[in-house]
Amino acid sequence: MHPSVLDFLRSNLTKEEVCGRRVAEIGSQDVNGTPRPVVMPLQPASYIGIDSAKGPGVDVVVNAGDLCSLFASGAFDIVISTEMLEHVADWRPVVQQMKEMVKVGGLLLMTTRSPGFPYHPYPIDVWRYTLEDARRIFGDMEILVLKNDPQVPGIFLKARKPASFKSLDLSAIEVHRV
């Protein structure tokens, strides 16, 4: 994980937003860093690390496309996914599941890589996202922050799930394949 990712989280999560709230991290296996040290001092009620394989930082093992098979709709106040979305075979169901897990009024924070970032398979590396891709993919949410990573090609997103949330059909949205 790049230092800029942790900087983004530090500057875009406040104690008021996190304290006493339920937080889920999707893609939590600590391969090269984790948001956990940024979030835990903000005193969440709970923090659950979710990944498709056992490892450091993983509390629950489940495929990201099957999140809602274990967690109810709106189960979390905050869903965080850092540097995971480029590593899934099919990003569409993963994004839909993450949106579904966030309660109305809750936050979704996501970081991922953009075109120009080098190939880095762990275990696979498939996608690259632009700001425009994120605007379309998360157009059913209230986008609070959407910007380029200032250090390396990538994007940062902070979005709120609105009361009027109606899930977008993502089937026609194409992103850059590695």
- For residues 163 and 29, give the distance between their C-alpha atoms in angstroms, rounded to a whole number: 32
Q: Does the pLDDT at position 26 exceed 90? A: yes
Q: Does the pLDDT at position 83 exceed 90? A: yes
Instruction: Give the range of the structural domain holding residue 168, as residue numbers without chain letter.
Output: 3-177
Q: Does the pLDDT at position 13 exceed 90? A: yes
Tokens 């498939």, residue?
126
pLDDT in tens, 94-138: 999 999 999 999 999 999 999 999 999 988 999 999 999 999 999
Rg of the chain over Cα atoms, rounded to whole angstroms, equals: 15
Residue 34 corresponds to which tokens in the numbers above?
A: 């984790």
- For residues 11 and 165, give the distance between their C-alpha atoms in angstroms, rounded to a whole number: 26
CB 75 within 8 A of CB 101: yes
Residue 166 corresponds to which tokens in the numbers above?
A: 């109606």
How many domains would you assign to the chain? 1
Q: What does the angle CA 106 – CA 30 – CA 115 come to, to the nearest 5 degrees?
A: 75
Q: Does the pLDDT at position 88 exceed 90? A: yes
Q: Does the pLDDT at position 22 exceed 90? A: yes
Q: What single letter denotes the amino acid at residue 49?
A: G
Residues 144-164 have a mean pLDDT of: 98
Residues 24-34 have a mean pLDDT of: 94
pTM of the full structure: 0.97
pLDDT in tens, 38-63: 999 999 999 999 999 999 999 999 99
Rounded to 10 degrees, the C-alpha dihedral 112/25/23/2 comes to -50
Q: What does the angle CA 134 – CA 140 – CA 144 come to, to the nearest 5 degrees?
A: 65
State the pLDDT at residue 20: 98
Residue 78 corresponds to which tokens in the numbers above?
A: 């905050």
Q: Does the pLDDT at position 85 exceed 90? A: yes
State the pLDDT at residue 32: 87
Residue 158 corresponds to which tokens in the numbers above?
A: 């902070």
Q: What does the angle CA 141 – CA 172 – CA 61 come to, to the nearest 5 degrees?
A: 65
Q: Does the pLDDT at position 141 exceed 90? A: yes
23: domain CATH number is 3.40.50.150
- For residues 127 and 114, give the distance between their C-alpha atoms in angstroms, rounded to a whole number: 8
SS3 59: coil
Number of other CB atoms surrounding residue 169 within 10 Å = 9
Mean residue pLDDT of the chain comes to 96
